[in-house]
Structures are given as C-alpha cells and as structure tokens.
Structure 1
Amino acid sequence: MALEHLFQGSALNAVDAKGRVSVPAFLRQVIERRGDARTIVLAKHDQFPALSAYDPGFAAARHLKLERLLEKEETNPDAELAYQQRNMMAFAATEETPYDTSGRIVLPPMMRAKGQIGELALFLGTGETFQIWNPKLFLEDARIPEDMKDIARFRLEERGLSA
C-alpha cells in the first residue's frame, strides 16, 4: 500500500492538566486526505521514549508489513512467536482518540504515561507516521541528530522557553 500523503513538519503545543492538546493542522490535513476518520491512533514508539501516531487506515498497511516480514522469516522456528509479539505491540498496545473541530485530542492516560508527555508535546512528521515527544526527552536522547535537536530548540524558543 503506497501512501501518497506523508506526515512532515514539526510543532510544539501545550498539553493541559486533562491531557488535551491541539494536533497541528498540517498533521490533521494528512489524516483527512488519507481517509474519512477524524481519529488518531497512538502507540508507544518501538525505539524511542515517544508516541507513534497515525491515521486508522495506516493500521492496514502496518498489518501487511508484518505479514510480509513473517513470510521472509518463515524458515526461522521463532518467526511465528515474533510475529505474534509484533502484532500485539502493533495493535493491542494502541489507543484511538478522535479530534474535535478545533483539532484537539485528549491524550489517553496510558499513552501519555508511555510517552512521558508532560506539559508540552513536540510533534514531528516522520513520513508514514508522526511522533509525539516530551521535548526534554527528545533533547536528551543521544540517538537524535543535533540538527533535529535544533528544531526542537527553535520550537521551544518560539514559545519563550529555553531548552
């Protein structure tokens, strides 16, 4: 499944005490171009201390990728267990949250905890999906290139905050 609309760009938005945050318009536009659902699927990112987010239609593409991976690994005796584990993480460990007409979502408590999201949420378009980070964790992560950290610093400075 080729996705013709990709998530790109960055933004930093405040998260209120109830976990409400505005999803940037440039991300919502991609979700709406991809399908009718005004819903975001959230999951713990599998590599970073962040959330991975995408539209409901992307779940089908993700399932196909997992199926192809199983086919490639079919000679491996542990392939079926690994496939089941990946499916659990890809589908059971997710939560769907709708956004309202102003683009706000309520971060589900489990997802907010998994992503360690506090009072600020850093949104990063990453192609097929987008990520939601605690900007402090983003800046502290040694695996993040300095050029990307500069973007986070810029977004913080835009809000009058220091990194």
Structure 2
Amino acid sequence: MRLFLSTYVNKIDRKGRVSVPALFRTVLSGQNSTGILAFRSFKHAALDCSGLARVEEMAAQLETLPEFSEEYENLSALFADMKQLQIDGEGRITLPEELLQFVGITDNVAFVGQGKNFQIWEPAAQEAFQAARRQSARDNKFIMPPTARMPAPAAEGTP
C-alpha cells in the first residue's frame, strides 16, 4: 500500500484551482481513485482528504456501530459534508469557496501527508500546528509504539 507522505505547498489560482502533488496523485491512482474525497476536519481548521478506497473503509467501520447511536449519528455526518473533487487533466482540483473559507486559504495550500489520508491546510496554520505537535511530543517524551507484541515464552515445565 502506498502512503501519503510529506508536505507540499502549492499556489492556488483565482478560480480556486490548485495542483495536487504528483506523489499524492500516484497514491490516489493506486487506489483506483480519479479524485479526492474531502470533508471539514472535526478537530482542526483543515480538510481531511483521501481516495475512495479509504472512504469505503471508513463506511465499513461506521457500520460496526449501533445504527441509531449518538456515535453513529455524529460520525455519519461526515459523509453528508464530503465533497468529491475531480482531478483535471493538468493534475489540479478546484476547492469550493466554502471549503476555502473554512480552512482560511487565500494564496497557498499545504497538502500534508498522514499515511492513509492527507489534509489540506492554510500553510502558516499548518506550520504552527506542526510546531506545537513536535513540542508536545518532546514535552511528553512520546515514542513510537511497537508494531507487535510477541507472547512471552512459557516457563519450563508449564503447559
């Protein structure tokens, strides 16, 4: 599986068009996605974005919740907010005005890789957020969790 990695800052034109980084387009095409699915982040002044395959995974995860529960209702709202942004022949998407306003984008767009997903930010806001996250990681001495835990070997003479 290819991942969305790195941060790219691209200029947005007067019509709201911006070039999607080539590496992001490659990941999307590997997911058989001809565009981006974007919705307003629940946590930040950013857009959460992915290809169709990831959105289908999210829908499957949502279906594990009780259908009329508060959690189900809250999380299902993201599907109503989602916008499909087609990538044109020049590798650009057009960001709708309401999304530009939500993020506070005027001149430049930051595409921020997050593995399976990516986000779209106003570049200065993203830099400030990233600096705060790094400081928090240092202050709290965060470390990467191990990928898998191996069971402890059984002691001699125990079944």
TM-score category by the smaller chain?
0.7 to 0.9
Q: Following TM superposition, by how much is the alpha carbon of 1:143 offset from its aligned partner in structure 2, in angstroms?
A: 4.0
User: Is 1:132 equivalent to 2:111 in the alignment?
Assistant: no
Give, in whole Å, the separation in 1 of the partners of 2:52 and 2:101. 22
Q: Give the TM-score of the pair, scaled to structure 2.
A: 0.77
User: Is 1:32 equivalent to 2:32 in the alignment?
Assistant: no
Gap runs ≥5 in structure 1: 147-163
Equivalent pairs, count? 135
What is the match of residue 100 of structure 2? 112
- Which has a greater percent of helix? 1
Gap runs ≥5 in structure 2: 136-159
- 8 Å contact from structure 1 (residues 9, 26) kept in 2: no
- Give the counterpart of 2:54 among 33, 53, 58: 58
Rg larger in 1 or in 2? 2
What is the match of residue 161 of structure 1? none
What is the match of residue 77 of structure 2? 88
- 8 Å contact from structure 2 (residues 31, 52) kept in 1: no
- 8 Å contact from structure 2 (residues 37, 84) kept in 1: yes
Aligned-residue RMSD, C-alpha: 2.0
Q: Give the TM-score of the pair, scaled to structure 1.
A: 0.75
Give, in whole Å, the separation in 2 of the partners of 1:110 and 1:57. 25
User: Is 1:97 equivalent to 2:85 in the alignment?
Assistant: yes
- Give the counterpart of 2:6 among 9, 22, 28: 9
What per-residue deviation string (whole Å, max 9, x for no partner) do you get for residues 22-71 of structure 1? Answer: 00000000000011x31111111222211111112221101122233x26
Q: Following TM superposition, by how much is the alpha carbon of 1:17 offset from its aligned partner in structure 2, in angstroms?
A: 1.5
User: Is 1:122 equivalent to 2:110 in the alignment?
Assistant: yes
